[in-house]
Structure 1
């Protein structure tokens, strides 16, 4: 047998055997082909969505072993506030709190007057497209045709790369981010069908298709790469994190 590469070691450590990686690659390749269909019609878009959903359910199941350990957002808030205070974030008469029905949010401590300071956040604490291009994966972002032309996707990759780094400067902030969102990306097919008859239905199918296509494209790209600066992304990148 050949010597294990760092790439293989990282993936095995995270719970994916070579056989599982091969199975996952086949599913991802099929997903990419499915979502790259050029013709579009309401019936075809729904067919692609349904078939992609089934593939993604299999992919998500296989990627469960790559899931990160999470603490509740409420538990992460003290460290987040401490980190902000340490780095000169100024907070007015507000606090971060978890409230019934609303989840984690900003809560006023008293009546807030018009023009009163709520937050003052130094720019060096912000994750931006500028910090993305200056990061360890900046060359990857600049040279990829999608990342270089879509700042929102480049920023998503920057966030994921920092998320997978236990020593990231932004770790307290990243730990406080939600693990899911109330968007169509988290709708089941039954919930998506409730949108039929509205303009949102076509937009929802398009968004789900685009994110699935981007995920499969980047997954394949990362697995083919031998760039050591992409090792964290290569070992940890999942559909759940990307969406």
Structure 2
């Protein structure tokens, strides 16, 4: 999972993302594209060792998936406001302190060219404690999104803890009055991973041993998205009720 949309920091605002409802025609088209993504698989009958034919097959599969995803993203496009992360710093610090965190002498600040980071407000002695964060403020499937229990038997959730964490984050992002709102509001909206690279960027990896891993990562995320789109559209449980109309590819990756 990758992109996370920011929302306003006012406590008076609900934590729910308000967006236009997709038409039935668009929803059906997205579902059909997701089916294509899920079966968009290249054969693994070639040797596992890297060779030019194998890499070419990986690349062709990536191009096919990218073309489908571009159609998906156009259909799912939702216009939402994305205030600067720095606007939520004050509320985030207050939230930390109210919940038992100790940040004496440290703060979160914006560093030109580097986005947000931890700033020392005074000189610290060697081995001096800088901050203390209670275990209860560590975002995890144990501390957040109790609704996740409804899909804990899902094979992807069971075998891929990082996927469970991603779904938990989406649940908290889109439900009302989440206690995690101040934390979620300052999360980055993009990351330096291959999922944010264009085909033109990716082609620069040709000839590199990292190309195979990068292409497989993009394929796996696309398949995960298509899988969970089907799960949320076809099931009636607490998780689907929250994510059915707000789950998109861009919010998942």
What range is the shorter-chain TM-score in?
A: 0.7 to 0.9
1:89-123 CA distance string (max 9 Å, x none):
10142211111110111122233332121221111
**Cα distance change of structure 1 residues 219 and 200 upon mapping to structure 2, 3 Å threshold:** same
Q: Show the 5 A alignment for 1:91-106.
A: 91-106=103-118
Residue 68 of structure 1, CA deviation: 4.3
Q: Cα RMSD between the aligned structures?
A: 1.9
Q: Report the 3-state secondary structure (helix = DSSP H, G, I; strand = E; otherwise coil) of the residue aligned with 1:182.
A: coil
Map of 2:5 onto structure 1: none
1:2-41 equivalences in 2 (<5 Å): 14-34=20-40, 36-39=41-44, 41=54
Q: 1:52 to 1:229 in 2, by over 3 A?
A: closer
Where do residues 79-94 of structure 1 align in structure 2 (5 Å cutoff)? 79-94=91-106
Specify the alignment match of 1:6 in structure 2: none
Per the alignment, residue 146 of structure 1 pairs with 156
Instruction: Tell me how many residue pairs correspond in the alignment.
Output: 229
| Matched position secondary structure for 2:190 | coil
* DSSP 3-state at the match of 2:109: strand
TM-score (norm: length of structure 2): 0.85
| Cα shift at 1:229 | 4.2
Return the structure number with greater relative CO, CA threshold 8 A, min gap 6.
2
Distance 1:38 1:164, change over 3 A: farther
Secondary structure of the corresponding residue to residue 46 of structure 1:
helix
The answer to whether 1:137 aligns with 2:142 is no
Q: CA deviation at 1:218?
A: 0.8
* Residue segments in structure 2 that go unaligned for 5+ positions in a row: 1-15, 47-53
In the aligned structure 2, how far is the partner of 1:99 from the partner of 1:71? 17
| 1:49-73 alpha-carbon deviations (Å, 9 max, x no partner) | 01111111111111112x5433210
Superposed counterparts of 1:182-193, under 5 Å? 182-193=192-203
Q: 5+ unaligned residues in a row in structure 1: which ranges? A: 1-9
Contact map agreement 1:137 1:230 (CA 8 A) in 2: no
Preserved contact between residue 73 and residue 176 of structure 1 (Cα < 8 Å): yes
TM-score by length of 1: 0.88
